[in-house]
């Protein structure tokens, strides 16, 4: 069964600290993995996308890694800010985002305290 599991379910950190969110998946065949940020009361916004051949991709203070062999991805947030408080959702596609099915994780709820 194709699944996407995220951990931790929730995380509280102090402003300025770093954190790492995890995503494990069993989706096959694998096409790409995308991390979304969803602010409270808003729709998800894409942060990064990684295909099979990519193992690291950065977007400002966000760095995503992918290990396609172990089917694991992580999202590292550096020097967290209050605005980073949101749910971070891992989404895996099995045949490309435009044609294939998307499998969503339940998200990690990140809270950044001042």
Partner 1 sequence: EADIYQTPRYLVIGTGKKITLECSQTMGHDKMYWYQQDPGMELHLIHYSYGVNSTEKGDLSSESTVSRIRTEHFPLTLESARPSHTSQYLCASSGTGQVNQPQHFGDGTRLSIL
CB 69: neighbour CB atoms within 10 A? 6
Six-digit token string for 109: 């709820």
Tell me the closest approach of the beta carbon of residue 39 to partner 1, in angstroms.
Answer: 9
Select from 8, 15, 106, 113 the one that contacts partner 1 (CB under 8 A).
106
Q: Is 41 in the site for partner 1 (CB under 8 A)?
A: yes
Q: Cα torsion for 65, 81, 44, 96, to the nearest 10°? A: -20
Q: Is 102 in the site for partner 1 (CB under 8 A)?
A: yes
Q: Is 52 in the site for partner 1 (CB under 8 A)?
A: no
Q: Is 34 in the site for partner 1 (CB under 8 A)?
A: yes
Q: Is 27 in the site for partner 1 (CB under 8 A)?
A: no
């Amino acid at each position: 069964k194709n699944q996407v599991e995220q951990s931790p379910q929730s995380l509280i950190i102090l402003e300025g600290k770093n954190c790492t969110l995890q995503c494990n998946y069993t989706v096959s065949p694998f096409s790409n993995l995308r991390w979304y940020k969803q602010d409270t009361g808003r729709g998800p916004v894409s942060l990064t996308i990684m295909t099979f051949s990519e193992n690291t991709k950065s977007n400002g203070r966000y760095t995503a890694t992918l290990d396609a062999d172990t089917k694991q991805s992580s999202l590292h947030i550096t020097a967290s800010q209050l605005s980073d408080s949101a749910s971070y959702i891992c989404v895996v596609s099995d045949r490309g985002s435009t044609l294939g099915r998307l499998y969503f994780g339940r998200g990690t709820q990140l809270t950044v305290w001042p």
